[in-house]
Copies of this chain bind each other. A is one copy, B any other.
Amino acid sequence: MSARGAERQALVIVLTGQGKGKTTAALGVVLRAWGRGMKTVVLQFVKPRTANYGENRAAKKLGIEMIPLGEGFTWRSQDIEKDKAAVRQCWELARQKIDSGQYDIVVLDEMTYPITYGWIPVEEVIDTLRRRPQGLHVIITGRDAPPELIEFADLVTEMREVKHPYEKGLKAQPGIDF
């Protein structure tokens, strides 16, 4: 925790909407915070555990904790109960990180999806956020953020898709999209 923790007004930030830039904006905060010597952890709820995208490579080089948690629960599998259990484990890890008091910022990337699926109860999320250590910023990204979370958050931006390159048949680009 930075020494300025006590003076800070900690924010709960939700980045949602169908457009691109939600995770990317969270990564921008990670960069800014790193520049200020703040401690961040990024929990990626959907990225496969083998993820070695641009952000994972950068985080590794910078000593930022970035933990891809997915694959176990891509909700493509046939075994829903197993997926649910895996998500619960990820959420327990997220809670530990939040409660630990060791971070300035916790990013819960793409966590709206398991909330929407009902696999993580939104009340439990809000309760954890409400009782979080003083000074801790939390950023949650993903489409379709639930109304209760929007109500509780301090800052909510909806990324609205005006024009999407995939419409033109352009593929996701390294360094830009991942």
Contacts and interface: CB of A to CB of B under 8 A. Distances in A.
Interface stretch (A71-79, A126-134, A153-161): A153-161
Nearest to A55: B32
Contacts of A58: 31-32, 34-35
Copies in the complex: 2
Interface string A143-158: 0000000100111111
Interface residues of A, number: 60
Interface of A: 4, 8-9, 11, 13-17, 19-21, 23-36, 38, 53-59, 61, 104-105, 137, 150, 153-165, 168, 170-171, 173-176, 178
21 contacts: A8-B173, A8-B174, A9-B171, A21-B159, A25-B28, A28-B28, A29-B175, A31-B31, A31-B58, A32-B54, A32-B176, A33-B54, A35-B57, A35-B58, A35-B59, A35-B61, A35-B175, A137-B173, A155-B163, A157-B159, A158-B162
